[in-house]
Chains A and B, each alone.
Chain A
Amino acid sequence: MVTEMTGRKVIVLGSGAIKIGEAAEFDYSGSQALRVLKEEGYESVLINPNVATVQTSYDMADKVYLLPVEPYFIERVIEKERPWGVMVGFGGQTALSAGVALHHSGVFKKYGIKVLGTSIDGIERALSREKFKETMREHGIKVPPSGSAKNKKSAIRLAKRLGYPLMMRVSFNLGGRGSAVLWNEKDLERELERAFAQSSIGEILLERYLHGWKEIEYEVVRDSMGNCAVTACIENLDPMGVHTGDSVVVTPAQTLDNYEYQMMRTISIRVAEAINLVGECNVQFALSPHGYEAYVIETNPRMSRSSALASKATGYPLAYVAAKIAFGHNLYDIKNSVSKSTTAFFEPSLDYITIKMPRWDLAKFDSAVQSVGTEMKSIGEVMAIGRNFEEAMQKAVRMLQIGEPGLVGGPIYHSSMGKKEIVETLKQRRPYWQLYVMKAFKEGMSVYEVHDITSVDLFFLKKLHSLAQTYEKRSKKPNAKEYKSMKRLGFSDAQLGVSRSNNLSVKQIDTMAGEWPAQTNYLYTTSLGEEDDIDTKAKKRKLLVLGAGVFRIGVSVEFDFGSVALAEGAKRYFDEVSMINYNPETVSTDWDRVHKLYFDELTEETVVNVHRKEKFESIATFAGGQIGNNLSLALERRGIKLFGTSGKSIDIAEDRNRFSALLEKLGIKQASWASATSLNQMSEFVEKFGFPVLVRPSYVLSGSAMKIANNMSELADYIDAATKLSPKHPIIMSSFIKEGIEAELDCGADGENAMGVTLRHIEEAGVHSGDSTIATPFLDGGPSAKMKEIALRLVNELDIKGPFNLQFIIEKNEPLVIELNLRASRSMPFASKSVGVNIMDHAINGVFGRFDWNGFYEPEHRAFAVKSPQFSWGQLRGAYPVLGPEMRSTGESAAFGRSLNSALIKSWLGVQPNKVPSAGVLIYGEKDRGLLKETADALAQKIGVSTLAVAPMHNHPALEIKHALDLIDQKRIDMIITNNGMRNVDYEIRRKAVDLNIPIVLNARLGRALADALFLDNLDCDEMKEHWKGGSVVSVG
């Protein structure tokens, strides 16, 4: 504890739960900052409730507090740890806003804490729209004509003065939240209230809307001496008016000439100087498509999604360099970690093209506005690397995992859409315009027509058009020459309907386009090469880990944690561990993590091609979730050895029919279910077990297309949608046990024995496990012992070696099996950290040998742990907030505590925008009224807040709803507890709540639990390891 005595301790603020606008890019950048702290000899203290991250794993951090990134909790940690400094630039907007608040409340001053990197003053000059504009004008930098307002009246006046159309922006917000394009005063009035609610300082900005202008971004690093390097220039294919997080972007910029490039580059340096940047910032420009004219739009004085993307696109480690700068290093004293021979003071040159494409899941959200605009809505993103635009674009489309084999030749391209419908889709800016543009070309539209609608640069549209033509003119059976030229345009074998051995080249990303010899292990494959940059033939024990791919609802940082944990653990057994993944937001695509990083597709074609070169000893498919799982059988059939459980066993577990038969054979109880391929079969099931029933296709993750059907007609409606999604597999229906408790086991196994952690859900069955609040330990010994027994039998039967997750519903103390996943699970990081044991590590050991115990081992719990889902309702305009069997949350927060309530409340508060209410709580609902009443009573007597029960609603619903809305408007309600879905009744209440950032609890069981936890005194704020040592040993059955 030498470091503690010297007081050289620095707090790093994380970004909390993953939400739209703040994803795993901050796990990546925070991890880099922690690494620098280690190098610099500081003790690091991380505050971040996102339990699923790599950074909360003592992987780099010395101390980890799973606590909300909120001033109250941060001050508690400061009080305890007495740090010397704090880093607020590596945890997104969440960390930055908390830092600004703590600065203003005098906490940093009180404890004498140094803010490392850009000063708070500089941050405010960047993030307050008004101050930013002033600063830019003072420095003679052009910004669009604009003004800011703090209330409705001045906003309307300002709008009149500026003239419509206008772009409304919000100060200190996230993901463009609250922003909008306004075509008239009616638009303004409609949007204002919501916009003000999104700004932590209640300020909006109106500016001239630059319709059809291009959006260009620069990434600037600047050290404390004032040295500047501009490390990336990113060109958005989507024009101004589409949030950059929702834009298709290309790096490096493709259509800028030297004058434009340098003009904006110079301005971006001046912006960095104007806010006295020390570290990294992103500067966004609007560029005229008709002449040399550009405006600065905004700057983010911190690591951002763009900077994470820029790091992966260029190989320049922005977060690492920014952190080094925060400690006073000059750019030219920092080594270029890729070339190892030059310094960080340079600007990367790229000899390849990268495309970033966003991934949306809007279809999962009832009533959500389906078009893309100024507010970010995408859940994840992919980055594809190619030696030309077409190759990168087509790779990127495949990476999205939306069932499209590339730009052309997929469901959208072959759909029955007519020209009118395509035009409408493009006009509304529905997600994936790039695919509808191809369809438009197929239907005979010209590039100019498409350009008029989309404002996408003609340069790109012509390339896309020519690709569509090449596809249309292709031969059914291409000869070698044609095949090669099609491959050079990024076509996959699946797209061409052929299967040949394609000669891929492996190229390095070396930051300087080959100018210097580089030791880099950051790789991609291309069909446009004639040689490999690296030697793939070395005879070593090699493992390939398949990563999680694109983040989508249901697949997020948890699976990245799994991939990283596996790669790290496997280094004990292999000489060389490689990773294939393509998600630029992640730690697993940090080239420092593995021996070789293939930044590439997770398709059978690419994996097999890479394997042909590398000859891996085995391939691990179980860490990254469903993509790997789905590939496992195919890889095994090609004679590739899987790491861990066999592809055959995985196939049994994934195939509901075979799995059920197996359970029956073993005498393991399961919820009644049936597999149906016709309506008749379905009726039979319903006659026997009654409604409601849960229906879903097999082979899915995150309950996609999972529904509860209450009657025959709902069932019939469902079939069309579901069969489309998974044609090879029948529909699974199971009876729905509402009174049960859902429980899970997250485990590692050696083929005979197992270890793991038991978890239980607070919400009842029918709420997707990913949307449930999950607690551990499981205090009731009876069922949990039975669960473990069942787990062991399955381990032996299926020869499970590696990680697995087993889900149950407990009905009258009897666990019934719901499903088995032979892979890492969403809850595995939480389960691991709740007991301080890395389940993945055990799972790896299990693949190689026997555990040194017999039977099932559950590590001792010394603290209570709770994980809560984070939703992004507010970001998804129009979406109706409701829980159901289909997953809708985007992330999670967790906390540990000396009591269950302490863990619960801290975990819940780690979710945005949750706060402890101070004005009043609104409680209402149709179902579970007893529970809601209890909740209301508990809250009312305990803390004396005014609770209001609107139920029963059916008497005077309209009146009651209006009353409730009035209360919200009067700011007399700052928390809502409700239950189930009543879309036709309370849509306005729920929508208003999320638009105004009012916490909303959507489940009665959770509401009841929170009532006991909300107003706890003396919350314990222990460090994670303190919890593991724990005063409160909990006995587990």
Chain B
Amino acid sequence: MGDTAYIYLEDGTSFQGDAFGYNTVKCGELIFTTSMNGYPESLSDPSYAGQIMIITHPLVGNYGVPKRSSDDGILLNFESEKVQVDGLIVSELTKSEKWNCALNLDEWLANQNTPGISGLDTRLLTKKVRDKGAMMCAISTRGRLRYPERVLKKDYTKINFVEQLSPKRPIVQNRYRKSVVVVDCGVKHGILRNVSRLGYNVIRVPYNYTADKIMSFNPAGVLYSNGPGNPNLLKEVVSSMQTVLEYKIPVFGICLGHQIASLALGGRVRKMKFGHRAVNKAVVDQISGKAYITSHNHGYAMTPRDMPDEGKIWLMSPDDNIVEGALYKKRNMMTTQFHPEGRPGTNDAGFIFGMFGKMIKENGN
């Protein structure tokens, strides 16, 4: 530390603070998360690819970063193998004394080629994003940029991040008799963990795998995963789902998967002003009236008007009229916009994986 870092925003403003992490220049969409802990999970969440994250809680790094641990290829304490954000903005970077700390946050980001900046009024930046909407941001830990606008030229909405993150060939488990295929658009390992707990092999396939290839695994169910970026760019995924649905096997869509379902069945998905990125958000079951506190990370969404005709609104955000869960009974599909696996976040809606398991069982598997 001690070096100065700079950020430059699309609206022409710039700020300076203390540099940490990797010495570089990056550009990404500026977003914020209000989750007060769980930064190792958030920073490794592939849905954040292409973004620069503000953490609104002022102290970050307090418990460091744990040693990677995994079970049959599924990570237990990270959401992917690497840091996914393009930069981190915090008010204060701290050092850890935790019993299970393997690295300090600063060291981890340095190892992972990710720049960080601290000492800023993060509330000011958060309010900016809230009021003006998500915007592009350049971050430099390598000194002042003479022409930040050159770096800022990147357009988040036009980049296919899924293509960059998705595995190039299937990743297969051989534990159980039956399998669930996960169409991996940048899946969080928390999701894989929950599927594996149902007692099925998790088979991760490339996002652009066709329905035929997916069905060749004879899956008991198919899960369309979360992932970063603009869903409207993912035509292949939409079309694979359209075909998979014809097989009437249980399908579960999470986050990006929820949006793909809408697009596959004639609905719409729109970019939100600044998205939901928090672990404290309510969803209300429109059928039972029960409500849950859940983990959210999405910058695109649909309102009831955007829903496909055949979808039934299942879960709603009571705060802003966003459809957070949908049921497609005829299709044997359910989808959630939020993350029932938490990580970071609550386990209150973890039972939804159980529902998926039940759908599979009822389908004869």
Task: Assess whether A345 is in contact with B282, with CB atoms less than 8 Å apart.
Answer: yes
Q: Which residue of B lies closest to A352 (CB)?
A: B58
Q: Is the interface of B mostly helix, strand, loop or mixed?
A: loop
Task: Assess whether A262 is in contact with B278, with CB atoms less than 8 Å apart.
Answer: no
Contacts of A256 in B (CB 8 A): 37, 63
Q: Is B123 an interface residue when CB atoms closer than 8 A count as contact?
A: yes
Task: Assess whether A349 is in contact with B37, with CB atoms less than 8 Å apart.
Answer: no
Alpha-carbon gap, A462 to B41, bound state (A):
25
Task: Assess whether A291 is in contact with B99, with CB atoms less than 8 Å apart.
Answer: yes
Q: Which residue of B lies closest to A341 (CB)?
A: B319
Task: Assess whether A331 is in contact with B99, with CB atoms less than 8 Å apart.
Answer: no
Task: Assess whether A330 is in contact with B291, with CB atoms less than 8 Å apart.
Answer: yes
Q: Mark out the residues of chain B between 116 and 154 whose CB falls within 8 Å of any chain A CB in the assembled complex.
A: 120-124, 126-127, 130-131
A342 CB to nearest B CB, Å: 4
Alpha-carbon gap, A914 to B19, bound state (A):
64
Task: Assess whether A258 is in contact with B121, with CB atoms less than 8 Å apart.
Answer: no
B135 CB to nearest A CB, Å: 16
B58 contacts which of A353, A458, A512, A533 (Cβ < 8 Å)? A353
Alpha-carbon gap, A533 to B36, bound state (A):
21
Contacts of B96 in A (CB 8 A): 459
B99 contacts which of A226, A290, A345 (Cβ < 8 Å)? A290
Q: Is A343 an interface residue when CB atoms closer than 8 A count as contact?
A: yes
Task: Assess whether B291 is in contact with A257, with CB atoms less than 8 Å apart.
Answer: no
Q: Which residue of A lies closest to B122 (CB)?
A: A351
Q: Mark out the residues of chain B between 57 and 87 whose CB falls within 8 Å of any chain A CB in the assembled complex.
A: 57-59, 62-63, 66, 77
Alpha-carbon gap, A533 to B121, bound state (A):
12
Task: Assess whether A257 is in contact with B342, with CB atoms less than 8 Å apart.
Answer: no
Q: Which residue of B lies closest to A252 (CB)?
A: B36
Q: Which residue of B lies closest to A458 (CB)?
A: B97
Q: Which residue of A lies closest to B292 (CB)?
A: A227
Q: Mark out the residues of chain B between 290 and 307 whose CB falls within 8 Å of any chain A CB in the assembled complex.
A: 290-293
Contacts of B354 in A (CB 8 A): none
Known contacts A262-B345, A331-B291, A529-B124; is A515 also within 8 Å of B58 by CB? Answer: no
B258 CB to nearest A CB, Å: 21
Q: Is B232 an interface residue when CB atoms closer than 8 A count as contact?
A: no
Alpha-carbon gap, A962 to B279, bound state (A):
64
Task: Assess whether B289 is in contact with A515, with CB atoms less than 8 Å apart.
Answer: no
Q: Is A312 an interface residue when CB atoms closer than 8 A count as contact?
A: no
Task: Assess whether B37 is in contact with A230, with CB atoms less than 8 Å apart.
Answer: no
Alpha-carbon gap, A383 to B282, bound state (A):
29
Alpha-carbon gap, A37 to B99, bound state (A):
49
Q: Is B240 an interface residue when CB atoms closer than 8 A count as contact?
A: no
Contacts of B282 in A (CB 8 A): 229, 331-332, 343, 345-346
Q: Is B318 an interface residue when CB atoms closer than 8 A count as contact?
A: yes
A316 CB to nearest B CB, Å: 11
Contacts of A257 in B (CB 8 A): 37-38, 40, 63, 66, 98, 100
Count of chain A residues with a beta carbon within 8 Å of a chain B beta carbon: 58
Known contacts A332-B291, A457-B97; is A348 also within 8 Å of B280 by CB? Answer: yes
Q: Mark out the residues of chain A between 329 and 359 whose CB falls within 8 Å of any chain B CB in the assembled complex.
A: 330-332, 341-343, 345-353
Contacts of B126 in A (CB 8 A): 351, 513-515
Q: Is B239 an interface residue when CB atoms closer than 8 A count as contact?
A: no
B59 contacts which of A331, A342, A388, A505 (Cβ < 8 Å)? A388
Contacts of B91 in A (CB 8 A): 387-388, 528
Contacts of B278 in A (CB 8 A): 349, 512, 515
Task: Assess whether B77 is in contact with A516, with CB atoms less than 8 Å apart.
Answer: no
Q: Is A678 an interface residue when CB atoms closer than 8 A count as contact?
A: no
Contacts of B37 in A (CB 8 A): 253, 256-258, 261
Alpha-carbon gap, A346 to B58, bound state (A):
20
Alpha-carbon gap, A531 to B38, bound state (A):
28
A351 CB to nearest B CB, Å: 4
Task: Assess whether B99 is in contact with A459, with CB atoms less than 8 Å apart.
Answer: no
Q: Is B281 an interface residue when CB atoms closer than 8 A count as contact?
A: yes
B124 contacts which of A389, A515, A531 (Cβ < 8 Å)? A531
Contacts of B63 in A (CB 8 A): 255-257, 459
Task: Assess whether A507 is in contact with B123, with CB atoms less than 8 Å apart.
Answer: yes
Q: Is B346 an interface residue when CB atoms closer than 8 A count as contact?
A: yes
Task: Assess whether B290 is in contact with A349, with CB atoms less than 8 Å apart.
Answer: no
Task: Assess whether B97 is in contact with A347, with CB atoms less than 8 Å apart.
Answer: no
Q: Which residue of A lies closest to B65 (CB)?
A: A257
Known contacts A258-B343, A458-B97, A462-B97; is A513 also within 8 Å of B57 by CB? Answer: yes
B319 CB to nearest A CB, Å: 4
Task: Assess whether A388 is in contact with B58, with CB atoms less than 8 Å apart.
Answer: yes
Q: Is B113 an interface residue when CB atoms closer than 8 A count as contact?
A: no
A226 contacts which of B290, B318, B342, B347 (Cβ < 8 Å)? B290
Task: Assess whether A255 is in contact with B98, with CB atoms less than 8 Å apart.
Answer: yes
Contacts of B347 in A (CB 8 A): 262, 266
Alpha-carbon gap, A528 to B58, bound state (A):
10
Alpha-carbon gap, A219 to B281, bound state (A):
17
A529 contacts which of B34, B100, B123 (Cβ < 8 Å)? B123
* Max chain B Cβ within 10 angstroms of own Cβ: one of A262, A330, A341: A262
Task: Assess whether B121 is in contact with A505, with CB atoms less than 8 Å apart.
Answer: yes
Alpha-carbon gap, A507 to B56, bound state (A):
13
Task: Assess whether B56 is in contact with A513, with CB atoms less than 8 Å apart.
Answer: yes
Q: Mark A262-285, 1 if CB is under 8 A from B, else 0.
A: 100110010000000000000000
Contacts of A289 in B (CB 8 A): 99
B283 CB to nearest A CB, Å: 9
Q: Which residue of B lies closest to A488 (CB)?
A: B119
Task: Assess whether A225 is in contact with B290, with CB atoms less than 8 Å apart.
Answer: yes
Q: Which residue of A lies closest to B343 (CB)?
A: A258
* Max chain B Cβ within 10 angstroms of own Cβ: one of A269, A348, A463, A528: A528
Q: Is A72 an interface residue when CB atoms closer than 8 A count as contact?
A: no
Q: Mark out the residues of chain A between 443 and 462 whose CB falls within 8 Å of any chain B CB in the assembled complex.
A: 457-459, 462
Known contacts A332-B284, A457-B97, A462-B95; is A517 also within 8 Å of B38 by CB? Answer: no
Q: Is B35 an interface residue when CB atoms closer than 8 A count as contact?
A: yes
Task: Assess whether A530 is in contact with B124, with CB atoms less than 8 Å apart.
Answer: yes
Q: Is A646 an interface residue when CB atoms closer than 8 A count as contact?
A: no
Q: Is A259 an interface residue when CB atoms closer than 8 A count as contact?
A: yes
Contacts of B284 in A (CB 8 A): 332, 345
Q: Is B92 an interface residue when CB atoms closer than 8 A count as contact?
A: yes
Task: Assess whether A347 is in contact with B280, with CB atoms less than 8 Å apart.
Answer: yes
Task: Assess whether B34 is in contact with A349, with CB atoms less than 8 Å apart.
Answer: yes
Task: Assess whether A349 is in contact with B280, with CB atoms less than 8 Å apart.
Answer: yes
Contacts of B344 in A (CB 8 A): 258, 262
Q: Is A135 an interface residue when CB atoms closer than 8 A count as contact?
A: no
Task: Assess whether B291 is in contact with A258, with CB atoms less than 8 Å apart.
Answer: no
Q: Mark out the residues of chain B between 21 and 56 whose CB falls within 8 Å of any chain A CB in the assembled complex.
A: 32, 34-38, 40-41, 56
Alpha-carbon gap, A124 to B124, bound state (A):
48
Q: Which residue of B lies closest to A269 (CB)?
A: B348
Alpha-carbon gap, A181 to B126, bound state (A):
47
Known contacts A343-B282, A459-B97; is A513 also within 8 Å of B121 by CB? Answer: no
Task: Assess whether A345 is in contact with B121, with CB atoms less than 8 Å apart.
Answer: no
Task: Assess whether B59 is in contact with A514, with CB atoms less than 8 Å apart.
Answer: no
A684 CB to nearest B CB, Å: 60
Contacts of B98 in A (CB 8 A): 255, 257, 459
Task: Assess whether A514 is in contact with B56, with CB atoms less than 8 Å apart.
Answer: yes
Q: Is A254 an interface residue when CB atoms closer than 8 A count as contact?
A: yes
B16 CB to nearest A CB, Å: 11
Alpha-carbon gap, A529 to B99, bound state (A):
33
Closest 7 CB pairs of A and B: A258-B38, A458-B97, A347-B280, A513-B56, A349-B34, A530-B121, A514-B126
- Could you list some 28 contacts between A and B, CB below 8 A? A225-B291, A229-B293, A254-B59, A255-B62, A255-B97, A256-B63, A257-B37, A257-B38, A258-B40, A258-B344, A262-B342, A262-B345, A266-B346, A332-B318, A343-B282, A343-B319, A345-B293, A346-B293, A347-B279, A347-B293, A349-B278, A351-B56, A353-B59, A388-B59, A513-B34, A514-B34, A515-B56, A517-B131
Q: A253-B37, A332-B284, A530-B124 are in contact. List 7 more A-B contacts (CB 8 A).
A: A254-B59, A258-B343, A259-B77, A332-B282, A351-B34, A514-B34, A529-B124
Give B contacts to A, CB under 8 Å: 32, 34-38, 40-41, 56-59, 62-63, 66, 77, 91-92, 94-100, 120-124, 126-127, 130-131, 278-282, 284, 289-293, 318-319, 342-348
